Structures are given as C-alpha cells and as structure tokens.
A and B are shown apart, each in its own frame.
Chain A
Amino acid sequence: SAVISQKPSRDICQRGTSLTIQCQVDSQVTMMFWYRQQPGQSLTLIATANQGSEATYESGFVIDKFPISRPNLTFSTLTVSNLSPEDSSIYLCSAAGGPNEQFFGPGTRLTVL
C-alpha cells in the first residue's frame, strides 16, 4: 500500500489569498486525484492530476481557480486561488497505486476568513 502525506494539515487564510497544498506519495503512482469535502458533504472530485500533462478537471472546477501540478510520479500540488469563505473545506489527495488500489492522504483542512 502507498503512504501519502499532505502539507499543510490545516490552514487559516484570508479572503483573496491562495493556498498551495502538497501531496507526496512514498512510491510511484500512475494516477493522483484531488478531492474536496465541504462541511457535511461527501467527497467531490476536483481533478485528476496527470504526470507530464495538464490536469483533467471535473465539471464545476476550473484551472484558474484550482491550478494543479504533477511534476513527477510521486508528487502533486493543488492551489486554491482567490480564496473565499465558500472554499473552506477539507482537501484530500489520493493516489491509485495499481489495480483496485486507491489511498488517501490525511487531508488539509482549510478555513477562509
């Protein structure tokens, strides 16, 4: 199984600023995903982070707001830009290490004031 770490684990940000979340996997993985979980909601997929190409965004999420990097097979970042209180959520990174395997990072709890 893959071990995934995320930084920061939590942050409080001011409106209009940006936060970059880092996700590190302890082994090379093909696919990495970014999810958002708003208070009281289930997980919503933001995008699939593709190594060597642009991320693939789900409906309702755009690159300008959620730019993603995937420089190699073990690392990805998600930036949440121009923060508003509605962006207050838990952001989760996950990785697919092989067939039928998907693991989650510990999550980043973002509060926007």
Chain B
Amino acid sequence: EDKVVQSPLSLVVHEGDTVTLNCSYEVTNFRSLLWYKQEKKAPTFLFMLTSSGIEKKSGRLSSILDKKELFSILNITATQTGDSAIYLCAAEHSGNTPLVFGKGTRLSVIA
C-alpha cells in the first residue's frame, strides 16, 4: 500500500530559527515528490522534486529528494510568523494519478 509519512507532526519554533521537515514515502511507480503549504483551505504549491540530490530553492525555503533512501526534506531558514502553516508532502505516481498525501507537519512560529 502506498504511503507517505511526515515528521514531526507538529513543531513550535521561534522566529529566526531554522526548521527541517521530513517526508518519507513508499509509492509504486514513483515519479515525483511535492511539497505544499496549507494556511487556510487550499494547499499552495511549493516544490516538485523528481531527481535525487538536486536542491530546489525559493527564498528561505529549500527542499531536496533522496530517491535511494525514499525521503525528502523541506528546510525553512530564518523562520517568520508568516511561515506558520501545515506543510504537506505528497508523492505522485507516473501518469496523471491522484497524489498520496502525508498527514502534514503543523508548524507554528512564535515571535
């Protein structure tokens, strides 16, 4: 059975801290790993990772995929209160098939 496991489930940090969110996956016909940020209702897309070892970066956020060990991390440096959200990791099969979501990591950044 396909599964995506995220850790930790919740995290509280202070502004300025650096956080690392983890995502491991077991998915048949794996194609890509996606990270989303969910603040209110709909998740917003952060990164899509298809190749091992290539870091994707957007501002203070970065992510990398390890296809050998079947995991990905999302790093946020110099956290801000606006980073408070649920971060969802999802694995995609080949083809236009539904994503397999992890349970998410709830990040709270306090001033």
Of A43, A100, A105, A109, the contact of B101 (CB 8 Å cutoff): A43
Q: Are A100 and B31 in contact (CB under 8 A)?
A: yes
Q: Are A33 and B98 in contact (CB under 8 A)?
A: yes
* Residues of chain A with a CB closer than 8 A to B74's CB: none
Q: Are A42 and B103 in contact (CB under 8 A)?
A: yes
The number of chain B residues touching the other chain, given as a range, is 20 to 34
Number of interchain pairs (Cβ within 8 Å):
47
Q: Are B41 and A107 in contact (CB under 8 A)?
A: yes
* Bound CA span A30–B40, Å: 27
Grouping DSSP codes into helix (H, G, I), strand (E, B) and loop, the B interface class, with mixed when no group exceeds half, is loop
Query: B54-111: which have CB < 8 Å to A?
Result: 88, 92, 96-99, 101-104
Q: Are B101 and A42 in contact (CB under 8 A)?
A: yes
> Is A73 engaged at the interface, CB distance under 8 Å to the other chain?
no
Q: Are A104 and B88 in contact (CB under 8 A)?
A: no
Of B34, B42, B103, the contact of A92 (CB 8 Å cutoff): B42
Of A41, A92, A100, A103, the contact of B41 (CB 8 Å cutoff): A92
Of A41, A44, A102, the contact of B92 (CB 8 Å cutoff): A102
* Bound CA span A92–B42, Å: 7
- Shortest distance between the CB of A43 and any CB in chain B (Å): 5
* Bound CA span A42–B100, Å: 10
* Bound CA span A33–B44, Å: 16
- Shortest distance between the CB of A8 and any CB in chain B (Å): 12
> Is B27 engaged at the interface, CB distance under 8 Å to the other chain?
no
* Bound CA span A52–B32, Å: 28
Q: Are B98 and A45 in contact (CB under 8 A)?
A: yes
Q: Are A96 and B96 in contact (CB under 8 A)?
A: yes
Q: Are B88 and A43 in contact (CB under 8 A)?
A: yes
CB-based nearest B residue for A45: B98
> Is A24 engaged at the interface, CB distance under 8 Å to the other chain?
no
A binding-site residues for B, Cβ under 8 Å: 30-31, 33, 41-45, 48, 90, 92, 96, 98-100, 102-107, 109
Q: What are the nearest 8 A-B pairs in CB distance?
A: A107-B41, A96-B96, A31-B96, A42-B103, A104-B42, A107-B42, A43-B101, A45-B98
